[in-house]
């Protein structure tokens, strides 16, 4: 298939299989439809470096949209389907997305975005049945050529991480302007060189495609000539059934999924043959030692863990065999050289905990925030996203915190400042601190410690009221699951919340 990013793969081979619907998209179909998408983007005035947003559930069209943007040299954003309309609108406005493609399954959120006439000036297209004010994606696509656009070049996804004010910040990597096949495909190299992925292998992606790793790794599978099996929604038994049905060879998970599969009844877990599975990759959140050990006992020593960041600042990997010797470690570096510093920037010896930095790391910028970009670099030229940890005598990295205040629940990053800002607007709240407390299933549970204007009002009724209030302002996964009323919150004389101290207080109460 000339000009294809998929190499010489058989056009009849399945590129995408959707479960549980069973929909199959071949490589020939994906190639043709992504060409049509690229033409559609060009016809709407999107040139190399322009930005398009995708607001969709896990469905086959997600891949043709991403590949169409990739081969048109565009930046593309996957919008988290659980964001509120205000949160999603902020990302669209901040990114400068020129066009939005939304799913009819998310029509309510899509309609809320449509209310702002300044967003997406190049068009609003809807997958499925279009609502009023939205154009039919399929109708617009059908008349476009199925051959490549003449000015193909590699694009990239535009990722969002937390900003200094609690708002997410876009992480924009420079585009090369080079032709297809020149993309620095790090997940693909890992798949092929470290995990033995070969054309014809099958990769299971059970997570939402709007997250960075699922989309990046599944597109790398396509560059490597494999088949992607994607779950419409994660279900623990469906995941096991999909491994058996499609003879899955590689997969990627977050620890919460391991917990849910381990909680299945023993007879259900034993019902499925998983012998085809050669590697189970996991990342996104720290995996409790006991959970990982149980998964290795069940699936064998096939777990492969990597630690990185949305910004791409360094990366480490660890095999199951290594992890059994170094329980809790996230491994040795494969990208960049890690070193640890204290608060004054002095490099620390093995075994001492401090800020994790990576020398020789990749370049990136926070869109619209040069100050935050500069703050990630030190005098040595290394980069850090604020995680803390230590290196042992053998050079293995152990994390002690996943960024100073970051909460990771179910593999999703949650930033406390945004939640605190919302709760502080409630008239009963005088001060608030939000932390993540250990949770056996989700990894961490969002917990709000609230100092009240009138402490005598504390109780279950007010806690329920605060949770209801938060739900009107925040996406569901950000809403605190636990409200505590500890009284005075620990702040320094300059007003900085001592989060570690607060967390310890709540854990001991």
CATH 3.10.690.10 describes domain 330-404:
no
* Most confident of the ranges 311-320, 464-473, 494-503: 464-473
Write out the E strands in 34-132.
51-55, 75-78, 99-103, 124-127
pLDDT of residue 164: 34
Q: Which of 115-119, 144-148, 226-230, 470-474 has the lowest mean pLDDT?
A: 115-119
CATH number of 27-180: 3.40.50.980
| pLDDT band of 163, cuts 50, 70, 90 | very low
Query: What SS3 string covers 319-341?
Result: EHHHHHHCCCCCEEEEECEEEEE
Who contacts 347 (Cβ-Cβ below 8 Å, separation ≥6)? Answer: 339, 340, 341
Instruction: Summarize the confidence of residues 258-278 as an average pLDDT.
Output: 94
Strands 135-136 and 124-127: parallel
Which region among 90-94, 155-159, 495-499 has the lowest average model confidence (pLDDT)?
A: 495-499
Percentage of the chain exceeding pLDDT 70: 96
Give me the pLDDT at residue 22, please. Answer: 96
pLDDT digits over 396-440, tens only?
999 875 566 778 888 887 878 788 888 988 989 888 999 999 999
Q: Which pLDDT score, from 0 to 100, does residue 404 have?
A: 65
Residue 129's pLDDT is: 95
Q: How far, in whole angstroms, is CA 247 from its chain's centroid? A: 26
| Element (DSSP H or E) covering residue 506 | helix 499-508
Residues 6 or more apart whose CB falls under 8 angstroms from that of 298 comprise 262, 269
Most confident of 54-68, 393-407, 435-449: 54-68
Predicted pLDDT at 166: 54
Alpha helix positions (H), 358-490? 370-375, 416-423, 460-471
Beta strand 407-409 with 412-414: parallel, antiparallel or unpaired? antiparallel
What pLDDT is attached to residue 2?
A: 44
Separation CA 51–CA 59 (nearest Å):
21
Range with the poorest average pLDDT among 95-104, 340-349, 378-387: 378-387
Per-residue b or e along 321-349, where b marks 16 or more CB atoms closer than 10 Å to that residue's CB: ebbeebeebbbbbbbbebbbbeeeeeeee
CATH 3.50.50.60 fits 185-307, yes or no: no
| Count of other CB atoms within 10 angstroms of residue 57 | 17
Is pLDDT of 116 > 50? yes
Domain ranges for the chain, please list them. 27-180, 185-307, 330-404, 409-508
CATH 3.40.50.720 fits 409-508, yes or no: no
Token output for 54: 């995708």
- For 171-181, how does the pLDDT look when each residue is reduced to its tens digit (9 = 90+)? 888 898 888 88
For 183-202, write each residue's pLDDT tens digit.
Answer: 778 899 999 999 999 999 99
- Report yes or no: 238 and 205 within 8 Å, Cβ to Cβ: no
Same fold flag, 27-180 and 185-307: yes
Residue 385 has a pLDDT of 85
- The pLDDT value recorded for residue 161 is 64
Lowest mean pLDDT among 51-55, 80-84, 118-122, 453-457: 80-84
Q: What mean pLDDT do residues 78-107 have?
A: 90
- Return the H-helix or E-strand segment holding 26: strand 24-26
Q: Which residues contact 202 (CB under 8 A, 6 or more apart)?
A: 226, 227, 229, 246, 247, 248, 249, 250, 276
Longest dimension (CA), the chain: 72
Average pLDDT score over the chain: 90
Taking the C-alpha atoms of residue 33 and residue 43, their distance in angstroms, rounded to an integer, is 15
| Separation of CA 346 from chain center | 32
pTM: 0.82
């Amino acid at each position: 298939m000339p000009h294809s990013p998929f190499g010489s793969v058989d056009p009849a081979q399945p590129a995408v299989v959707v479960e549980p619907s069973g929909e199959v998209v071949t490589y020939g179909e994906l190639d043709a439809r992504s060409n049509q998408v690229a033409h559609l983007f060009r016809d709407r005035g999107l040139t190399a470096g322009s930005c398009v947003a995708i607001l969709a559930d896990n469905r086959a069209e997600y891949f043709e949209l991403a590949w169409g943007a990739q081969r048109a040299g565009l930046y593309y954003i996957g919008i988290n389907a659980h964001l509120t309309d205000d949160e999603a609108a902020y990302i669209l406005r901040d990114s400068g997305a020129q066009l939005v493609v939304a799913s009819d399954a998310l029509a309510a959120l899509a309609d809320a975005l449509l209310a702002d006439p300044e967003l997406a000036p190049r068009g609003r297209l809807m997958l499925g049945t279009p609502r009023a004010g939205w154009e039919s994606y399929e109708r617009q696509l059908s008349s476009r050529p199925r051959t490549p656009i003449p000015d193909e070049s590699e694009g990239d996804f535009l990722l969002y991480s937390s900003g200094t004010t609690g708002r997410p910040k876009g992480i924009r990597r420079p585009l090369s302007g080079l032709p297809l096949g020149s993309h620095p495909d790090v997940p693909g190299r890992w798949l092929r060189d470290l995990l033995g992925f070969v054309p014809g292998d099958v990769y299971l992606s059970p997570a939402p495609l709007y997250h960075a790793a699922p989309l990046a790794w599944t597109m790398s599978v396509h560059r490597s000539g494999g088949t992607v099996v994607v779950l419409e929604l994660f279900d623990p038994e469906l995941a096991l059934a999909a491994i058996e049905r499609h003879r899955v060879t590689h997969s990627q998970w977050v620890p919460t999924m391991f917990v849910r599969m381990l909680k299945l009844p023993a007879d259900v877990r034993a019902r499925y043959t998983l012998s085809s599975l050669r590697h189970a990759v996991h990342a996104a959140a720290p995996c409790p030692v006991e959970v990982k050990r149980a998964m290795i006992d069940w699936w064998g020593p096939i777990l492969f863990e990597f630690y990185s960041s949305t910004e791409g600042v360094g990366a480490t990997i660890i095999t199951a065999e290594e992890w059994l010797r170094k329980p809790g470690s996230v491994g040795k570096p494969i990208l960049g050289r890690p070193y640890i510093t204290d608060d004054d920037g002095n490099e620390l010896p093995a075994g001492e905990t401090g800020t994790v930095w990576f020398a020789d790391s990749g370049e990136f910028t926070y869109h619209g925030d040069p100050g935050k970009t500069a703050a990630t670099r030190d005098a040595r030229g290394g980069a850090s996203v604020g995680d803390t940890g230590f290196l042992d005598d053998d050079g293995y990295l152990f994390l002690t915190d996943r960024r100073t205040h970051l909460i990771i629940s179910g593999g999703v990053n949650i930033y406390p400042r945004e939640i605190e800002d919302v709760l502080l607007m409630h008239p009963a709240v005088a001060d608030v601190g939000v932390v993540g407390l250990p949770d056996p299933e989700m990894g961490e549970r969002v917990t709000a410690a609230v100092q009240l204007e009138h402490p005598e009002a504390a109780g279950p009724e007010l806690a329920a009221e605060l949770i209801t209030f938060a739900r009107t302002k925040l996406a569901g996964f950000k809403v605190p699951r636990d409200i505590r009323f500890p009284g005075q919150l620990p702040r320094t004389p300059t007003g900085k919340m001592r989060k570690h101290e607060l967390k310890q207080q709540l854990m001991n109460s």
